Amino acid sequence: AGPVESKNEAAMSELVPEPRQKPVVPMKPMGINANLLGYIGIDTIIEQMRKKTMKTGFDFNIMVVGQSGLGKSTLVNTLFKSQVSRKSSGWNREEKIPKTVEIKAIGHVIEEGGVKMKLTVIDTPGFGDQINNENCWEPIEKYINEQYEKFLKEEVNIARKKRIPDTRVHCCLYFISPTGHSLRPLDLEFMKHLSKVVNIIPVIAKADTMTLEEKTEFKQRVRKELEVNGIEFYPQKEFDEDLEDKTENDKIRQESMPFAVVGSDKEYQVNGKRVLGRKTPWGIIEVENLTHCEFALLRDFVIRTHLQDLKEVTHNIHYETYRAKRLNDNGGLPPMAVETEENHESNL
């Protein structure tokens, strides 16, 4: 038995494979942070969005409404630091004062820091200039709704465009005359009718005609009258998304609104600096100086902090309200115009 067992053991030892040597693992470089091994790169989406927006650009449409002579064109030019709105230097003798409110839209492409913006300024000459101003806001309301209708028709097309041209009014600057007393019935009626279809920002024009005390009192009176009449202006309370937005917007609603502004596109030398301002016998009113007027606050509000929100509220609230009503009234879809063969060929 002894020799047989020793033979079997020798055979088994031949069948057992020899243990393999482990491959040599290269050591991790000392310079690499261990935390970076779990990095995915989700945060780069913001940079991707930024690049895409810079390539395509975006639209912003601003409407100015108010009586002639309140400096609407000048203020818009000052706001964007370029001649984006044509000045109407009074009516010539040959020209007739328009009997109804006209709508004039002027488009520009503004580029800053590589970002392109197609800016459209919609002026409303003739508003409030007649003896009888009854229902003079109707052409403006009609224009705003026409832009919603145009966007809606593009949306419901079977073969719709990849990027629908946006002509909807994102912001309406309503110019209040600096009387120092109270709002006129025309002001209240306009804002009451249009506050539901567009973002209205009330502005006290030519604030340099009032003293600081008169300006403060007039602002408080305007706020009170708007509240009593149930008129909501932008930013509306119900559209605040979170506590941070509510805190920021409450401060604007209670302190800044309506913005008392002065516009000017002329430069003057003040303490060795070139500033935008208006020259008076007793000194220069600096447009961008907060102790002189609130133009800088209005510019920051409209362009630097709330421009995207103005566009979103227009799309998600005002346009959606119009769209829902329009589709309900027509049983689902807006009536499509019957195309003739000629029209069909021209469309193709």
Which residue in 240, 226, 230 sits closest to 312, CA to CA? 240
Domain span including residue 160: 56-89+97-263+293-330
Phi-psi region of 272 (alpha: psi -120 to 50; beta: other; left: phi over 0): left
Give domain status of residue 36, yes or no. Answer: no
Under 8 Å CB-to-CB from 135, ≥6 apart: which residues? none
| Residues near 114 by beta carbon (within 8 Å), at least 6 away in sequence | 54
Report the candidate in 192, 146, 139, 194 with the shortest Cα–Cα distance to residue 168: 146
**Measured on CA atoms in the order 309, 310, 311, 317, is the torsion positive or negative?**
positive
For 262-308, what is each residue's pLDDT tens digit? 888 788 888 888 888 888 888 888 888 888 888 889 999 998 889 99
Question: Hey, what amino acid is at 220?
Answer: Q
List the alpha helices (DSSP H) in the chain.
2-15, 45-56, 72-80, 138-156, 185-194, 212-228, 243-251, 295-299, 307-313, 320-329, 341-347
Report yes or no on 74 lying in a domain: yes
Give the global pTM: 0.78
Looking at per-residue pLDDT, the higher value among 262 and 343 belongs to: 262
Q: Are strands 200-204 and 259-260 parallel, antiparallel or unpaired?
A: parallel
Domain membership flag for residue 44: no
208-212 mean pLDDT: 87
pLDDT band at 109 (very low <50, low <70, confident <90, very high): confident
| pLDDT band for position 313 (cuts 50, 70, 90) | very high
Alpha helices (runs of H) in 87-242, residue ranges in sequence order: 138-156, 185-194, 212-228
Domain count, the chain: 1
Interhelix angle 138-156/185-194, nearest 10 degrees: 10
- pLDDT > 90 fraction of the chain, expressed in percent and rounded: 25
On whether residue 344 sits in a domain, the answer given is: no
Residue 50 inside a domain? The answer is: no
130 in any annotated domain: yes
| CATH assignment of the domain containing 226 | 3.40.50.300
3-class DSSP assignment, residue 245: helix
> Is residue 325 situated within a structural domain?
yes
Distances (CA, A) of 107 to 85, 122, 167, 204, 258: 9, 9, 10, 25, 27
Please give the pLDDT value at position 322: 94
The answer to the question of residue 41 being in a domain is no
Tokens (6 digits) for 48: 């991707």
| pLDDT band with cut points at 50, 70 and 90 for residue 54 | confident
Please determine, for residue 134, whether its predicted confidence score (pLDDT) is greater than 90: no
The tokens for 256 are: 């800044």
Q: How many other C-beta atoms can be found within 10 angstroms of the C-beta atom of residue 78? A: 24
